């Protein structure tokens, strides 16, 4: 009887944890992260507060981007005497609680990057290993709403069992804390213990961004660690079946707004992240957005497709340079992203709806252009610019 009672208690505990976890991410989280644009060296209290202001004044918060996350570069180069994290006194003289309070005063949620090993990715000995309780208490006291726990470095080298044990310890401490803190794991590939222990997790390598050598759409330089948006999308697609209400696969932050991608490539990149139900974390400078960039990242239809909690959209067909990605929405509605990975324009690309297993008569909207059109004899035609896409919302006719 005692064993049965313990088993029932464990089931109840897991059930409560699952309910709590889902309440933090019923849909893919949205926000902004400092790393892709500012990196470690360029962030400071002044420009982070300016970016917080811009999130509000430029309409990002109203569109759903409600998490403001400061990535690497906020910490001092050493821990305090009790293993506590210290803010860099020159860049952030008023500390992280001041920034969290400022973000909250503007209606935003606030998050930080931290590391579970012994050192951060730059080699400073500021890791949380052995100091987890102290650091989680700090984050609760500072009023954090989001933690990105980045694998980085462990002095004796990570192995899979140590990695799992360490991340699960953080997960348990956060669950037991008296604050709702969204837990984002960044360990560069999918693992089967993610969905019940965090709300979002990286499934990919780092996307090339301004902080390195600039964004790339579909060309890699692995020797320099420059991984394209399309390579990252391919890697994320491999674990598409595991995303669901409460847990979302993370293919890294967005690189919209960067000069490395032209306008068509930015639309395709954002559309892919939307149809993959990826967390939408901007990696731009929100103080200096162009009209064209805002037109992409504030597109209501794109965001609505992303926020449907039905599933992660996935690639369903490849023919030559054309890829078709699909996400089922609700009530028989769906989204399609028709992508041209080639270097030349494709005119009058004809798609058979029956070949895509679409049998109902559906109204079709191009979510970027706003154009409505209908299929003819079960077929539709789209024009595709080089590296461009047709992002389509298909809904049942009333």
Mean pLDDT value of segment 40-66? 98
Query: For residue 156, with 0-12 CB atoms within 10 Å meaning exposed, 13-18 middle and 19 or more buried, which class applies?
Result: exposed
Q: Which of 279, 305, 287 is nearest to 368 (CA)?
A: 305
Strand ranges across the sheet with 389-396: 314-319, 322-328, 334-340, 389-396, 362-366, 372-373
Q: Which of 74, 27, 50, 69 is nearest to 303 (CA)?
A: 27
**194: pLDDT strictly greater than 80:** yes
- In this predicted structure, what is the pLDDT of residue 305? 99
**59: pLDDT strictly greater than 90:** yes
Q: Which of 117, 101, 118, 98 is nearest to 109 (CA)?
A: 101
Q: What is the pTM of this model?
A: 0.93
* Catalytic residue flag (residue 150): yes
**187: pLDDT strictly greater than 50:** yes
> Cα dist. 76→80, 102, 222 in Å?
9, 21, 31
Mean pLDDT value of segment 193-208? 97
Q: Which of 71, 124, 145, 150 is catalytic?
A: 150
Quote the CA–CA distance of 364 and 89 in Å, as a whole number.
54
Task: Name the percent of the chain lying above pLDDT 90.
Answer: 84
Structural domains in the chain, CATH included, are: 20-307 (3.20.20.70), 314-396 (2.60.40.1180)
Residues 6+ apart with CB under 8 A from 222: none
Q: What is the CA radius of gyration of the chain?
A: 22
- In this predicted structure, what is the pLDDT of residue 213? 85
- In this predicted structure, what is the pLDDT of residue 222? 65
**8: pLDDT strictly greater than 90:** no
**14: pLDDT strictly greater than 90:** no
Could you tell me the end-to-end alpha-carbon distance of the chain, in angstroms, rounded to an integer?
57
**36: pLDDT strictly greater than 80:** yes
- In this predicted structure, what is the pLDDT of residue 374? 81
> Cα dist. 393→196, 300, 334 in Å?
31, 12, 6
Mean pLDDT value of segment 254-277? 97
- In this predicted structure, what is the pLDDT of residue 4? 45
Query: DSSP labels for 240-256?
Result: GGG-BTTBEEE-----T
Q: Which of 124, 206, 250, 285 is catalytic?
A: 206
Handedness of CA 48, 49, 50, 53 (dihedral sign): positive
Quote the CA–CA distance of 154 and 156 in Å, as a whole number.
6
**12: pLDDT strictly greater than 80:** no
SS in 3 state form for 150-204? ECCECCCCCCHHHHHHHHHHHHHHHHHCCCCCEEEEECCCCCCCCCCCCCEEECC
* Catalytic residue flag (residue 206): yes
């Amino acid at each position: 009887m005692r064993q049965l009672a313990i088993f029932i208690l464990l089931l109840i505990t897991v059930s409560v944890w699952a309910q709590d976890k889902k309440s933090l991410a019923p849909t893919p989280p949205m926000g902004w992260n400092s790393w892709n644009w500012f990196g470690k060296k360029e962030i400071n209290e002044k420009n982070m507060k300016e970016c917080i202001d811009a999130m509000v004044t430029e309409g990002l918060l109203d569109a759903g981007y409600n998490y403001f996350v400061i990535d690497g570069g906020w910490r001092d180069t050493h821990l305090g005497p009790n293993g506590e994290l210290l803010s860099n006194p020159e860049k952030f003289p008023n500390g992280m609680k001041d920034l969290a309070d400022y973000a909250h005063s503007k209606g935003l949620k606030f998050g930080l990057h931290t590391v579970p090993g012994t050192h951060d990715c730059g080699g400073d000995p500021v890791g949380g290993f052995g100091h987890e309780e102290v650091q989680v208490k700090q984050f609760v006291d500072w009023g954090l709403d989001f933690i990105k726990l980045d694998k980085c470095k462990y002095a004796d080298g990570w192995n899979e069992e140590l990695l799992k044990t360490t991340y699960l310890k953080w997960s348990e401490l956060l669950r037991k804390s008296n604050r709702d803190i969204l837990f984002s794991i960044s360990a560069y590939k999918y693992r089967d213990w993610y969905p019940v222990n965090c709300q979002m997790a990286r499934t990919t390598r780092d996307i090339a961004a301004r902080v390195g050598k600039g964004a790339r759409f579909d060309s890699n330089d692995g020797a320099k660690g420059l991984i394209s948006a399309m390579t990252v999308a391919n890697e994320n697609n491999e674990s598409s079946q595991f995303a669901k209400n409460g847990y979302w696969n993370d293919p890294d932050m967005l690189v919209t707004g960067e000069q490395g991608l032209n306008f068509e490539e930015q639309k395709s990149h954002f559309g892919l992240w939307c149809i993959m139900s990826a967390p939408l974390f901007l990696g731009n400078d929100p103080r200096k957005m162009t009209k064209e960039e805002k037109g992409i990242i504030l597109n209501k239809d794109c965001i609505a497709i992303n926020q449907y909690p039905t599933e992660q959209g996935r690639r369903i067909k490849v023919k030559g340079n054309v890829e078709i990605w699909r996400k089922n929405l609700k009530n028989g509605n769906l989204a399609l992203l028709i992508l041209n990975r080639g270097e030349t324009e494709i005119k009058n690309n004809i798609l058979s709806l029956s070949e895509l297993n679409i049998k109902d008569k559906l109204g079709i909207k191009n979510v970027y252009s706003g154009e409505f059109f209908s299929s003819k004899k079960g077929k539709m035609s789209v024009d595709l610019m080089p590296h461009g896409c047709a992002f389509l919302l298909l809904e049942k006719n009333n």
